Structure 1
Amino acid sequence: MGIHLHKLALVGAIALGAFGLAACGSGSSDSEGGATGVENPTPVGGSWEKGNFLPVSTFTDRCVSPRSGTDPITGSAYADVLGTRQDENNWLRSMSNELYLWYDEIEDKDPARFDSSLTYFEELRTFALTPSGREKDRFHFTEPTNEWLSQSESGIYIGYGVQWALISSEPPRKALVAYLDQEDSSLPDAITRGAEVISVDGVDLANGSDVDTLNEGMWPAKSGESHEFKILPLGASDPVTVTLVSAEVESDPVQHVKVETTDSDRKVGYMLFNDHIAKAEGELIDAITELESEGIDDLILDLRYNGGGYLDIAAELAYMIAGDNSVGQSFEHMQFNDQHPEINPVTGAPLDPTPFHTSALGLADDSLKGYPLPTLNLPRLFVLTSGNTCSASEAIINGLRGVDVEVIQIGETTCGKPYGFYPLDNCGTTYFTIQFSGANAKGFGEYSDGFVPNGPFGTEADLPGCEVDDDFDHLLGDVNEARFAAALNYIEGGDCGDVAVKAFAEFGTSNRLLESNVSVPKEISRSNRIMVR
């Protein structure tokens, strides 16, 4: 598979106290200097003049700490040369002015005033609010490039293979297992969905004051770390003690593929889809092929923990669901800022829509390239959602509705991210800045406050369906799990019915334990809408 990260070679004006994941860091140093033997290099580009922007190529690859060796993005030696913090900051400034969707809402600040490129990058965004009062840009991130490459290709990250659900991030805290990254996991039997964390390395999770120990145990930073957990298994009355050892974990993005037959003899397919990573392409083909062979009448697609990823994966899956009605139609049309009405500023290509892909792109397996995709030819789709359903997952919903596939939503309001980006590398850091919005074949793309089940607002973001809390008393894929059961009721009777559930609401993207919102924190590569060049 090719690398999908970008060196910024643009056309046009530029020459082409909390739980959770720690704030993403930079792969480059935030101190001046380098290893080339040249001391105190002079910044290029001259002094800052507000509103005057030099081409980004002026500053590309001028690094505080130049890398050596082979660049996995280009396959050639790194182009890095010794530069200054001001050079790296000027690259960010020019790049943001050219590509950022809301470039005209950035306050232009002198890059020489910032000793950290990460701090400066945080200023290069809009601070406007959505109609509901949330920040319009809640999606501004960085990640060390080597970590991004590992995660985006195969979903590999450091951990235990457990995704935690943060029910309460402030004392009395509560955290449960949301799901396992591998369907056939070798984790202790006590670790299943719904298992509750009682303590970590001897620190009481509910009220303990040593939050650092809790964070370090639940989200280990390095492979080989050993941490002791006291866990209350699902349905048990007494906790057990287990030791978890961190390692490189590979996500299994498609799980629990199955068919249920209703009382009226309708065959209903179900699958849990957690990540739009490259390896999902082959797993989705296998899953849809299996469901097609079963002749299903309806599909329940569980996206409650799917934060997104590659948009092309979404376009492939949407075609496999819709089939013939989507052929030749636009899945999503990208809209960049008003400086780029007709040309994609990253690729230099005309702004043609992303189609419903009818054949595989071979994103992780070259042997799949051109493989005709199986199809279900369904007129409607049931989606199970939460506030963690984001970006490329929302694009599936919006894209299908653009070709008149009915989408019934069971669960909670989605995160609201009709935006995306091409990841951009400079000096060992990958920058994720919103570059485009997406609209479906009917031109709709304004769902910045999310898709709402049985929404009362009278907009295109209101979907038929019903609100159902997340049910941690049942395993995912269990027909008695609240959202699955509600979808089956809807298929049989046209409404969700009376589903009893002891559940916990989720919303938003939370990176730290002391924040107020509840979420299932995931790596950045699993929480966005990412374009492949």
Structure 2
Amino acid sequence: MKLKYVLLTLLVGLVFTSCSKDSDSNETTTTTPDVINDFVWKAMNSWYYWQSKVSNLSDSKITSNNNYANFINGKTPDALFYSLLYQRGTIDKFSWIENSNEVVSASKIAEVQKSGGFNYGLYPKDANNVNLVALINYIVPGSPAALAGLKRGDVVTKINGSQLTASNYNQLEDTQVTLTLAASVGFTSTAMVTTDKATTVTVSQLDIDENPIAYYEKKVYGSKNIGYLVFNGFKADYNDELNAAFAKMKLDGINELVLDLRYNGGGSLETAIALAQMINGSNTNKPYIYLDFNDKHNSDDGFEYLSDKVKIYNLVDNEPTFQSEESVNSLSLTKIYVLVSFETASASELTIQCLKKYIDVVTIGDDTVGKFVGSITLYDSPAYDYASYANRSTKHQWQLQPITFAYYNKDKDVNPSKITPNYEINPYDTFSNLVEFGNVKDPYLKKALELITGQTLRTNNQSAKSAISFRNDNLAAFNPTNTAKGLYIQDFKSLKE
């Protein structure tokens, strides 16, 4: 998402004090803080999770109005914001700011957004980490990408005629892109080798409210009624559809579940809590997650509890608006299998870390992102501690999405740097086998089914053996979910309206 820069005008007030006509005039200059930058700094000073660790966010900065104004003025709002982050890129990889008339408060928990309708992961072609390819994870039905003929498993090698690289991959998010696809993908022991198709594909963006319940199928192996559910985002405006999917699984007699979170970068905390109940359902009113805010918001610290009700939202002006409650449909499972990848983050990781305190959670795939922090959207509404969209200033469109809390499971266990799966699948092994959802040639799904059934499933996989030996541990550095822009954001809808 590109930032639009705002030209800032510094307002300088001059106060003149007149003595006698023979006296020298004394001039006192007062510098007025820029109003947008004042919002940025004060909102961060109040809410930023690592506020106490950032000297430039210390309360002492505002003891002198002139010094404060001189510090924050002269920067664009985004430059100021990013200068205030704690060890940006290492500790804080997820906070960001944007200048947009789109409602950000939902921030992937519920929203219509500009999109071409294709989700992708980025993979270095060799150890130099410069040239990349983008593997198409899935296509949103009816989207521009679908109409252009893109499909799951396509490999993008060039964008707008240029080799895809670590420097230009963000152009994949442009309003219109021309993509060159690979005709073939091969591997040596140290690199990926591609050949290009002669034709290209052009995709333009439209407003899309993507349904995160991407796929469901019942698979029967003897007495095992296995549900395979692909869930790509914790979006509150689809809580009713998620609950309906579990009602369908109950009707189908599902007694084993494979939950595919490979492309799920997070979303609504409420949805994550509801999902836990849909899976197990026997721990109503028990603590599920502990939220830890900074010292200025200790009153917001505390547990979120499992509930037998799920809130239903509709989008009103692109803002999730409460409509009603439904009883949770539960499968009463005591064990599930979760497919994960280097794109699995946040509320997805929460589901694994917190749910395994109650049931057995078996993970299959690749190391996850390691995002055990979340955020609320901050607006220019100082009278409401910057947490109210309805009472925001309409004189500008800047909005902040900084990390505002960390989360832990019910026992407050220290989080790992990332979730290492119980059964590892080399992500490069998917290039020859990224078939349509539900096809057992998918190595992730195949492994889950083998664990459930105790059978070895025979498929005609065409993956080259050399692909297994090629693994780049810096994959996640190029996954767009890990950039400071944060494509998958917000795990917590603020209780402050």
TM (norm. structure 2) is 0.75
The DSSP-based 3-state class of the residue aligned with 1:487 is helix
What is the letter of the counterpart of residue 118 of structure 1? D
- Mapped pair 1:121 → 2:77: no
Could you tell me which of 287, 293, 306 is aligned with 1:356?
Answer: 306
Residue of structure 1 in register with 2:9 after alignment: 32
Question: Is 1:142 the equivalent of 2:104?
Answer: no
Task: Note if contact 2:144-2:205 (Cα within 8 Å) is conserved in structure 1.
Answer: no
Partners of 2:170 and 2:482 lie apart in 1 by 12
Deviation at 1:368, TM superposition (A): 5.6
- Equivalent pair of 1:489/1:495 in contact (CA under 8 Å): yes
Distance 1:268 1:42, change over 3 A: farther
Q: Please state how far the C-alpha of 1:475 moved relative to its aligned partner.
A: 2.3
- Distance apart, 1:508 and its partner CA: 7.9
Residue 275 of structure 2 aligns to a residue whose secondary structure is: helix
CA distance 1:389–1:125, change in 2 (3 Å): same
Deviation at 1:281, TM superposition (A): 1.0
Please give the secondary structure, in 1, of the residue aligned with 2:93: coil
Aligned twin of 1:46: none
Counterparts of residues 248-397 of structure 1 (less than 5 Å): 248-262=207-221, 264-324=222-282, 326-341=283-298, 343-344=299-300, 351-364=301-314, 369-397=324-352
Task: Deviation per CA, 1:54-107: give whole Å up to 9, x if none.
Answer: xxxxxxxxxxxxxxxxxxxxxxxxxxxxx9653433333333333222222102
Give the Å deviation of 1:532: 4.0
Note if 1:406 corresponds to 2:374. no
Aligned partner letter, 1:405: I
Alpha-carbon distance in structure 1 between the residues aligned to 2:322 and 2:75: 47
- Comparing both structures, which one devotes a greater share of its residues to strand? 2
Relative to 1, partners in 2 of residues 1:199 and 1:98: Cα closer, same or farther, differing over 3 Å? Answer: closer
Structure 1 residues 493 and 382: alpha-carbon distance in aligned structure 2, compared to 1, 3 A threshold: same
Match of 1:247 in 2: 206
How big is the shift at 1:417?
1.6
Write the distance in 2 (CA, Å) between the matches of 1:499 and 1:451: 30
Q: What residue in structure 1 maps to residue 441 of structure 2?
A: 480
Hey, what's the Cα distance between the residues in 2 that align with 1:319 and 1:283? 15
Query: Against the structure 1 CA distance between its residues 121 and 42, is the aligned structure 2 distance closer, same or farther, given a 3 Å change threshold?
Result: farther
Deviation track 1:261-315 (CA, whole Å, cap 9, x = no partner) reads 12x4311111111111222212211211111111111111111111111111111
Is contact 1:334-1:353 (8 Å) kept? yes
- Structure 1 residues 376 and 107 mapped into 2: Cα distance closer, same or farther (>3 Å)? same
Q: Match of 2:305, as an amino acid?
A: P
Shift of 1:206: 5.6
User: Which amino acid in 2 is paired with 1:284?
Assistant: L
Deviations 1:429-487 (A, max 9, x none): 2212222111222222523x111113xxxxxxxxxx43442623222332220111111
| Structure 2 residue 376 is matched with structure 1 residue 422 | yes
Match of 2:387 in 1: none
Aligned to 1:531: 493
SS of the residue aligned with 1:409?
A: strand
Cα distance, 1:385–1:84 mapped onto 2, change above 3 Å: farther
Q: Which residue of 1 aligns with 2:419?
A: 451
Alignment partner of 2:34: what SS? helix
Deviations 1:226-284 (A, max 9, x none): x544434799995544343332222121111111112x431111111111122221221
* Mapped partners of 1:285, 1:506: distance in 2: 38
Q: Which residue of 1 aligns with 2:26?
A: none
Q: Is the 8 A contact 1:177 1:194 kept in 2?
A: yes
| Residues 145, 425 of structure 1: 8 Å contact kept | no
Match of 1:192 among 144, 151, 167: 151
**Structure 2 matches for 1:69-148, cutoff 5 A?**
86-108=34-56, 112-113=70-71, 114-127=74-87, 135-148=90-103
The separation in 1 between residues aligned to 2:494 and 2:310, in whole angstroms, is: 14
The aligned counterpart of 2:24 is none
Provide the residue aligned with 1:348 in structure 2: none
Structure 1 Cα separation of the partners of residues 232 and 341 of structure 2:
12
Conserved? CA contact 2:108–2:233, under 8 Å: no
Aligned 8 A contact 1:360 1:373 in 2: yes
SS at structure 2 position matched to 1:286: helix
Q: How does 1:486-525 map to 2 (within 5 A)?
A: 486-493=447-454, 517-518=478-479, 524=486
Question: In the alignment, residue 77 of structure 2 is paired with which amino acid?
Answer: S
The CA deviation at 1:41 is 6.2
Shift of the 97–399 alpha-carbon distance from structure 1 to 2, 3 Å rule, reads same
CA pair 290-308 structure 1, distance change in 2 beyond 3 A: same
RMSD: 3.6
The one-letter amino acid of 2:336's match is L
Give the superposition deviation at 1:321: 0.6
Aligned residues: 425
Residue 505 of structure 1: how far off its partner (Å): 6.2
Distance, in Å, in 2 between the alignment partners of 1:303 and 1:421 is 21
Structure (1 or 2) with the larger CA radius of gyration: 2
Give the residue type in structure 2 aligned to 1:252: N
Is the Cα–Cα contact under 8 Å of residues 32 and 85 in structure 1 kept in the other structure? no
**CA deviation vs aligned residue, 1:150-186 (integer Å, no higher than 9, x gap):** 8646442223211232222755432231211338887
Q: SS of 1:115's equivalent?
A: coil
Q: Output the CA distance in 2 between the equivalents of 1:189 and 1:145.
A: 28
Partner amino acid, structure 1, of 2:339 = L
SS, match of residue 244 in structure 1: strand
Query: Structure 2: how far apart are the matches of 1:100 and 1:317?
Result: 28
Give the Cα–Cα distance (whole angstroms) in 2 for the partners of residues 508 and 156 of structure 1.
32
CA distance in 1, matches of 2:332, 2:294: 35
1:304–1:384: 8 Å Cα contact kept in structure 2? yes
Task: State how far apart, in whole Å, the 2-side matches of 1:332 and 1:508 are.
Answer: 30
CA contact (8 A) 1:194 1:233 kept: no
The one-letter amino acid of 1:259's match is K
Q: For residue 421 of structure 1, report the CA deviation from its aligned partner.
A: 1.7
Unaligned runs of 5+ in 2: 15-30, 62-67, 186-194, 316-320, 381-395
1:162 maps to a residue whose letter is F
Listed one character per residue, the Cα deviations across residues 416-437 of structure 1 (whole Å, up to 9, x for unaligned) are 1221121111242221222211
Tell me how far apart the structure 2 counterparts of residues 330 and 42 of structure 1 sit (CA, whole Å).
54
Q: Secondary structure at the match of 2:309?
A: coil
Residue of structure 2 in register with 1:440 after alignment: 409
Task: Write the deviation string for residues 180-237 of structure 1: whole angstroms up to 9, x where unpaired.
Answer: 1338887247411111224444x14368x9x76x754x3223xxx4x54443479999
Report the Cα offset of residue 377 of structure 1.
0.8
Which stretch has the larger CA shift, 109-118 or 404-413? 109-118
Aligned AA for 1:526? Y
